[in-house]
Amino acid sequence: MATLAMSPWGRDEQAGRSEGDGKQQRRGSDAMIDTVLAYLISLGIIGAGVIWIVAGTNPATSLLCITVGVLTIAVGLISLLTELRHGRY
C-alpha cells in the first residue's frame, strides 16, 4: 500500500526548505518544472486565442469569435507577463 510520502505529492514537503517568512521554496528540477509549466500554460492560452481569431475570420466572419480570441490572447499575455515578472528561476 502506497503512502503519501511515496507519492509524487508527498515529495514536495521533503524537497522544500524553510525560509524566514514560513514559506517553503522548492529547489532544483521541481522549481524548473513549475516555471516551464507556467510558461507553457500561458502560451497555450495565447494559442487558443489565435485559433479563435482564425476561426472567426473564415468566410462567415464572426465578431463574437474574434472578440473571444482577443480576450483570450489578452488573458494569456497577462498570465505570461506576470510569470516573467516573478522570475522564479
> What mean pLDDT do residues 9-35 have?
60
* This model's pTM is above 0.85: no
Encode pLDDT of 38-86 as tens digits. Answer: 999 999 999 999 999 999 988 888 899 999 999 999 999 999 999 888 8
Give pLDDT, residue 18. Answer: 45
| Pick from 77, 85, 16, 4: nearest CA to 41 | 77
Beta strand extents in 1-89 (DSSP E only) = 17-18, 24-25
Distance CA 13, CA 82 (A): 26
Give pLDDT, residue 34. Answer: 85
Give pLDDT, residue 87. Answer: 72
Give pLDDT, residue 46. Answer: 95
